[in-house]
Amino acid sequence: MGSKKKTIMIFGAGINQLELIREAKGLHITTVAIDPSDSPPGKKEADHYYQVKGNDYETTRGIALKHKIDGIVTGQMEKPLRLMAKLATELGLIFHSEAVIEKSLNKWLMKQAFLKDRIPCASGVILKKDQELTKEALNELSFPVIIKPVDAFSSRGVYKADSVDELKACRNDSINYASDGNVIIEEFLAGKEFSIESITFEGKTEIVQFTEKFITPYPNTVEMGHLQPANLNDTEREQISKLIRKAIIAMGIDYSASHAEIILTNDGPKMVEIGARLGGDFIASYLTKASTGISMDKAAVQIALGKKPDLVKTENVFSYIKYFHLPEGARIKSATIPDELKAMEGMVFSAVFGQPGDIIPQLNHSAQRTGCILVKADSRERVIKLAEKYEDILTQNIQFIM
């Protein structure tokens, strides 16, 4: 008799988890997807689908036991991580401990882990919800500074401030995105920002790709593009790789993908933060696979089942995801992606996030972007040119109510 077919529970069935479902099925693994939505894109692709509220542990546990799952995995999301850690502990599945998850979700705990292991990062202070904002509370931090919620994501509530008055003006917004109302104020690190996509298995970390970020100007930044491979020299890559491996050890990350963010300063690379998960913004699902041929989604599924991940590089090209934002206040009438665009040179993926009837909001964080184009090419110049060209084609197919 052959071995029993493995079953994996996938947390999320949205556009960011489609490749996880597909990669698992490609490995002949039964997929059980759960999501709070009634009819997400992955519902039709998973072998089994359940609509479950994100904080409903008992229902989730019941589904896991019903299907006798062998592993759990999610893609690019932080919300289900605490529940997943609890479930893994109870059922003996491969996943982070609850302590590791807390450090990865709470930026203050993360900073303490970095400082304990002498990992270069921004100095900072935590400001409790009801604590008065004074010069003394800043503990000799000099301006400019960054203020951010202790546990938000997608750049929500993150601002640069040049004075106490500016800090006070943006503090309320930061507080609104913090689950406990606490915010972190830290030194501003000047330099170019990059992310690093890694896989750690049995204590060994493989750096899969370096990603260059394109962000809007301060006071609050929104990521509007990611390009691979990043424009770095060999020395910079070596310095960054060493830093990332130290940070992963400090956090206790193992048997997992990770998505780290660093700033390359005049004093070398410094940690911003690291997620004990796959990178968002389609970096893990499409961008990295396009540039390297390595599927981080496939690797995540393999790790969740205790198998050595397939990290053989089969591509060596440039990939670029360019986000766009349409005029603030415009109301979308219709938004279609033309068929001819899908077949064009180097086209990998495109999406429009706005729906008919939506009003384009002011751009303050990543979730408010209108759409994206992802392409690949054999040069940095070519991939940027194609993305700009295809963005024009796509946005011309979006009509507005006047």
- Domain assignment of residue 1, yes or no: no
pLDDT for position 256: 97
The per-residue pLDDT for range 124-181, each reduced to its tens digit, is 999 998 898 888 889 889 999 999 999 987 788 899 999 999 999 999 889 999 989 8
- Domain assignment of residue 108, yes or no: no
Q: Is the pLDDT of residue 1 over 50?
A: no
Structural domain for 16, as ranges: 7-95
- Domain assignment of residue 116, yes or no: no
Identity of residue 108: W
At 46, which CATH number? 3.40.50.20
At CA 234, angle to CA 231 and CA 238, rounded to 5? 110
At 131, which CATH number? 3.30.1490.20
Identity of residue 332: I
Instruction: Return the C-alpha torsion angle 391, 394, 399, 402, nearest 10.
Output: 10
Residues in the chain: 402
Residues 126 and 171: their CA atoms lie apart, in Å, by 12
- Domain assignment of residue 130, yes or no: yes
The per-residue pLDDT for range 23-34, each reduced to its tens digit, is 999 999 999 999
171 and 313 fall within a common domain? no
66 and 164 fall within a common domain? no
325: number of Cβ within 10 Å: 18
At 262, which CATH number? 3.30.470.20
323 and 239 fall within a common domain? yes
The per-residue pLDDT for range 204-253, each reduced to its tens digit, is 999 999 999 999 988 878 999 999 999 999 999 999 999 999 999 999 99
Q: What is the pTM of this model?
A: 0.94
Q: Which of 213, 231, 288 is nearest to 257 (CA)?
A: 288
181 and 264 fall within a common domain? no
Q: Is the CB of residue 398 less than 8 Å from the CB of residue 337?
A: no
180 and 197 fall within a common domain? no
Q: What share of the chain is helix, strand, coil (3-state, %, to 5)?
A: 30, 30, 40
232 and 322 fall within a common domain? yes
Residues 244 and 395: their CA atoms lie apart, in Å, by 38
DSSP strand pairing (223-228 vs 318-324): antiparallel
157 and 227 fall within a common domain? no
Which of 167, 187, 207 is the endpoint of a domain?
187
42 three-class SS: helix
Residues 389 and 385: their CA atoms lie apart, in Å, by 6
* Four-residue CA torsion sign, 337, 338, 341, 342: positive
165 and 216 fall within a common domain? no
Which of 172, 187, 202 is the endpoint of a domain?
187
Residues 361 and 80: their CA atoms lie apart, in Å, by 27
Indicate the DSSP class of residue 336. -
The per-residue pLDDT for range 283-323, each reduced to its tens digit, is 999 999 999 999 999 999 999 999 999 999 999 999 999 99
- Domain assignment of residue 110, yes or no: no
230: number of Cβ within 10 Å: 21
Residues 311 and 296: their CA atoms lie apart, in Å, by 8
pLDDT for position 130: 87
336 and 364 fall within a common domain? yes
Query: Which are the contacts of 39, defined by CB distance < 8 A and separation ≥ 6?
Result: none
293 and 210 fall within a common domain? yes
181 and 216 fall within a common domain? no
The per-residue pLDDT for range 330-388, each reduced to its tens digit, is 999 998 899 999 899 999 999 999 889 999 999 988 889 999 999 999 999 999 999 99
Q: Which of 99, 65, 100 is nearest to 256 (CA)?
A: 100
- Domain assignment of residue 181, yes or no: yes
Q: Which of 391, 283, 281 is nearest to 347 (CA)?
A: 391
- Domain assignment of residue 111, yes or no: no
Which of 187, 217, 234 is the endpoint of a domain?
187
| pLDDT category of residue 2 using cuts at 50, 70 and 90 | low
- Domain assignment of residue 115, yes or no: no
Domains held by the chain: number: 3
58 and 127 fall within a common domain? no
